[in-house]
């Protein structure tokens, strides 16, 4: 076994030990296929008010501009599928990824461990960890690394486990063995397209971000437009509809990351509890949660919007 193979196996074994679902590796370089797609998506204003999507266009497409002399993109998946969901069927809903501790903290910590391990075991390796917080096209890299294919709802899909997982990367200046992409297994299925209440999936594999419930409830800072009323299906933070209806998600298994377990009160809160939520309760339940992104005022705005539906 040569050193490249050995290093690759070491990294994948440690990723597994740290609790990652899977690990795939790609050669760092310009994402030629994604460049025209991203440009067209931005030109059609499908990013709505997410102005940050326009920034760092070159860096989004080329990791060597983010990490000098980078050779490899190590993509990692971490399961967040919960064993239980909210109990009151009439309560406003939170996307499953936000039930527990904010994934940025959880994954960043694991990535630091992985990078330290690489440096301890292999030697002087430079790199950076990315968790959805820098201009990196996570899904494109994960697909290129053979971890799944991009589904018609534009999420990454994997045959054995579906799509309820986070994607993260280490971009490092170390040559490794590279994985190959897998084939698309969406076939003629249109479940996600048919189920989207705001018709955000405008074409197979193309999501108009400015029509997505997740955009309205998290990213949009102004008032939610009236035309969206009656189309939220009780989602107050994020939305899982396109994933919930996907046939591949029947293979989802509960995660085993204690930090992703919800606050004890979260799942039992009733519709009335949510409609009467105070700043104190919000701060307690969402102390380390991704829901803090929308702030108390944003969540109350979303809940009020659902009441008028």
Looking at residue 113, the DSSP 8-state letter turns out to be H
Query: Where do the structural domains in the chain lie, given as residue ranges?
Result: 3-172, 191-247+262-307
Pick from 17-21, 56-60, 277-281: least confident: 56-60
So what's the pLDDT on residue 56?
Answer: 84
Is 23 known to sit in a ligand binding site? no
Round the average pLDDT of the chain to a whole number and report it.
Answer: 95
pLDDT (tens digit per residue) in 199-209: 999 999 999 99
The stretches of the chain forming alpha helices (DSSP H) are: 3-17, 34-43, 57-61, 103-122, 138-144, 191-195, 213-214, 241-244, 271-275, 279-285, 295-307
Contact between residue 130 and residue 136 where contact means Cβ atoms under 8 Å apart: yes
pLDDT (tens digit per residue) in 256-265: 999 999 998 9
List, in sequence order, every residue forming a beta bridge with 129; answer none if it has no partner.
170
Confidence of residue 75 (pLDDT cuts 50, 70, 90): very high
Architecture of domain 3-172: 3-Layer(aba) Sandwich (3.40)
Query: Exposed/middle/buried for 279, CB within 10 Å: 0-12, 13-18, 19+?
Result: exposed
So what's the pLDDT on residue 309?
Answer: 67
Q: What is the pTM of this model?
A: 0.95
Q: Which residues belong to the active site? A: 132
Is 212 known to sit in a ligand binding site? yes
Is 210 known to sit in a ligand binding site? no
């Amino acid at each position: 076994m040569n050193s490249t193979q050995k290093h690759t196996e070491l990294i994948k074994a440690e990723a597994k030990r740290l609790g990652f679902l899977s690990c795939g590796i790609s050669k760092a370089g310009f994402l030629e296929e994604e460049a025209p797609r991203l440009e067209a998506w931005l030109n059609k204003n499908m990013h709505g008010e997410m102005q940050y999507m326009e920034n760092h266009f070159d860096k989004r497409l080329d990791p060597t501009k983010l990490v000098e002399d980078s050779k490899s993109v190590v993509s990692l998946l971490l399961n967040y599928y919960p064993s239980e969901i909210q109990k009151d069927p009439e309560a406003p809903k939170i996307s499953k990824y936000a039930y527990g501790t904010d994934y940025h903290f959880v994954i960043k910590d694991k990535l630091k461990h992985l990078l330290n391990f690489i440096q301890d075991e292999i030697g002087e390796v430079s790199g950076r960890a990315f968790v959805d917080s820098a201009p990196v096209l996570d899904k494109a890299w994960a697909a290129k690394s053979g971890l799944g294919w991009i589904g018609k709802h534009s999420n990454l899909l994997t045959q054995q486990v579906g799509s309820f997982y986070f994607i993260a990367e280490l971009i490092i200046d170390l040559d490794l063995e590279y994985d190959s992409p897998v084939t698309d297994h969406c076939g003629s299925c249109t479940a996600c397209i048919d189920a989207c209440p705001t018709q955000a999936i405008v074409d197979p594999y193309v999501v108009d971000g400015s029509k997505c419930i997740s955009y309205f409830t998290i990213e949009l800072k102004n008032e939610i437009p009236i035309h969206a009323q009656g189309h939220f299906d009780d989602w107050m933070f994020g939305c899982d509809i396109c994933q919930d209806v996907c046939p591949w998600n029947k293979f989802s298994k509960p995660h085993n990351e204690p930090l992703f377990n919800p606050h004890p009160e979260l799942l039992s809160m009733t519709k009335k509890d949510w409609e009467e939520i105070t700043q104190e309760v919000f701060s307690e339940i969402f102390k380390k949660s991704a829901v803090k992104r929308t702030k108390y005022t944003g969540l109350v705005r979303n809940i009020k919007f659902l009441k008028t539906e």
